Amino acid sequence: MTQMIDRLADIADRFDAIVFDQWGVLHDGTTPYSGVPDAVAALADSGKALAVLSNSGKRAAPNAERIAAKGYPTSFFRVIMTSGEALWLDLLEDGGSLKLFPITRDDGDATAWAAGLDCVELVTSFEGADALLLMGLPDAGASDEVEQALAHALSEDMPVYCSNPDRASPRAGGATVVSPGEFAHRHKDAGGAVHFYGKPHLPIFERLQAELGLPADRILMVGDSLEHDIAGAKTAGWASLFVEGGLYARHFGSHDQTSDRAADLQELCRLQQRAAPDFSIPIVN
């Protein structure tokens, strides 16, 4: 049964490391959530090992800069791991030559991601690619070219590397936007080949755990996605803390009573057909 808590400090001493998701936990894509930087700072000052595990198609370094710009100094975190970093490392270790057609949120994202990866060539036409790189989407949604590229990949049995498996991401004011994982899952359901990097897939949890150098039962994952953060933590053997005020904030409304929160969480798990987290909190504080 999920334990409903009001303060992360109430359970922090049970773990040697606390791993935070980024969007929906530390910030909403624009600003940090009220009080969360102070709570994270207090944990860092206490000597707790902290880390970030994000389904971002970008590498760890630019995400560290983005986190710092939102009020979280990189010195707080022992490790910052992203799905984009995990893919970059995998391709570096593999060493094979690969022509990728990138699908990104902003111009230049793919070039920055591929820096130092000599085995990868970014191409400007999906018809000349070995695979698609699905790392980001504009908040306005996928363009016609994205749809055409995915259709081409399906018809030509071309693999898709998805370095952001999130189906949706939270934005300011409780809004959500469609994320690359939604298109990757549609492509897979249509029979396409997709290589997913990031949560909930076990390798990224194993990679981060190895960097922390800790047993699984001493790590707590803090996230707002039942599908990615909570399910992935369960597979890895980590404990999990669900943040109600992130991706599914509208589902929880403005309830103040623990019984209401518990009922809302139970209903959300039923609707999502997902396992319940070990703990649940309105927002990290």
Taken in order 61, 236, 136, 140, the sign of the CA dihedral is negative
The Cβ-side half-sphere exposure at 225, using a 13 Å CA radius, reads: 25
Region for residue 174 given its phi and psi (left: phi exceeds 0; alpha: psi -120 to 50; beta: otherwise): left
pLDDT at 179: 87
Query: Using omega within 30 degrees of 0 as the cis cutoff, is the peptide bond preceding 180 cis?
Result: no
pLDDT at 11: 97
Mean predicted lDDT score pLDDT of the chain = 93
Block mean pLDDT (10 aa), the chain, length 285: 95 97 92 95 96 96 95 96 96 92 92 96 95 87 83 96 89 81 94 96 96 97 97 98 93 69 95 96 95
